[in-house]
Amino acid sequence: VPAVPLPREFYDRDTRRVARALLGKILIRREGRRHLTGRIVETEAYLGTDDAAAHSAPGITARNRVIFGPPGHAYVYFIYGNHYCLNVNCLPEGQAGCVLIRALEPLTGLEQMARNRGLALDHKAVETHAPRLLRQLTTGPGRLCQAFAITRERDNGKDVTNARSDLTIADDGFRPRRVLTTPRIGITKSADEMLRYLIEGNPFASGVMNKR
DNA sequence: TTATAGATTGCCT
DNA sequence: GGCAATCTATAAT
């Protein structure tokens, strides 16, 4: 696992470019000496005050203030009374924009992820239902937060570029072969904008056959 | 002060 | 494929 997080400059540019560039990077949750890691395989861009679907659309509020802050910080919100979602904010302080992390390919710490998700993941289960089970760990924005124990209370506003942070994003050199662009999922406003990015063919992206 | 919709998920038929 | 669960930000009263 790479020890050096992506630098702040990585996030200090157009939100769509960051959303695409985050594909293939590694999300790292550190719990003492143990690590949970997963490769980012699906993202969505949420633009500034011009994007009706973005939480930043109404301007700065208590809830969304992280999106207007300096780049490279986690924006975590609670939705539908049940789920947390993880974003990283982009662009310089004062400009809104963030990327929603929608799906990961789990890499290390799978048993802990399963425990966090309330799933049984023994060897027998892996042998018989591996693809189904593994997809239940970190496919979907709410699921990956539960698997990584990401909550608003614990992680909102956290600097993901700080190596001492327990939530960081790093580059291990992996580059996606091909990237698909589609409309965003689960929104009603600005639903036609092509702002969802995923690694073509990766089985851990959400949706059927990597589409929707 | 009350009502409503929401960047989701899991269980039901 | 349909729908309930369950909290909260924001709009409407």
In angstroms, the CA A26 to CA A176 distance is: 13
Distances (CA, A) of A162 to A17, A28, A30, A145: 21, 12, 12, 20
pLDDT band at residue A2 using 50, 70 and 90 as cut-offs: confident
Nucleotide nearest to A141 (CA to C1'): B8
Query: Is the C-beta of residue A208 closer than 7 Å to nucleic acid chain C?
Result: no
pLDDT for position A210: 47
For A207, how many CA atoms within 13 A lie in the half-sphere containing its CB? 23
Q: How much is the average pLDDT of A165-176? A: 97
In angstroms, the CA A113 to CA A134 distance is: 10
Q: For the segment A62-101, what is each residue's pLDDT rounded down to a tens digit?
A: 999 999 999 999 999 999 999 999 999 999 999 999 999 9
Nucleotides on strand B lying under 7 Å from protein C-beta? 5-10
Give the N- to C-terminal CA distance of chain A in Å, as an integer. Answer: 32
Closest protein residue to C10 (Cα–C1'): A58
Nucleotides on strand C lying under 7 Å from protein C-beta? 5-11
pLDDT band at residue A125 using 50, 70 and 90 as cut-offs: low
Name the pTM for this structure. 0.95
pLDDT for position A78: 97
Dihedral sign, Cα of residue A114, residue A118, residue A121, residue A126? negative
Question: What's CA A18's distance to the chain center, in Å?
Answer: 12
Query: Is the C-beta of residue A55 closer than 7 Å to nucleic acid chain C?
Result: yes
pLDDT, greater one: A32 or A166: A166
Q: For the segment A100-118, what is each residue's pLDDT rounded down to a tens digit?
A: 999 999 999 999 999 999 9
Nucleotide nearest to A58 (CA to C1'): C10
